[in-house]
Amino acid sequence: MKDKSINLKVSNITQKQWSNLIIELNLVAQAWRSYGPIIKIKTHNLDRILTWGRKTNDDKEDKGKNKKSSI
């Protein structure tokens, strides 16, 4: 089967909206994978956006600060 492609040109969008759009497209790609289509997304900083989008409140970042408990 021939590959099909789509190009999206998005303007007047904030960085937060852009990140959310990329995350939503990735969720669609993952959901459809079980039905056959393989969707590949290419964009600048894709891995970084998806990593940010997968974070939960349980994820803790160590920002280089040494926190010592005082006992």
Q: What is this structure's pTM?
A: 0.69
Closest to 26 measured CA to CA, from 3, 42, 9: 42
Q: Tell me: the pLDDT tens digits for 17-71?
A: 989 998 898 899 999 999 988 888 888 888 888 887 777 777 666 555 555 655 5
pLDDT, residue 53, reads: 78
| Domain parsing of the chain, residue ranges | 11-39
Residues 64, 40 contacting (CB under 8 angstroms): no
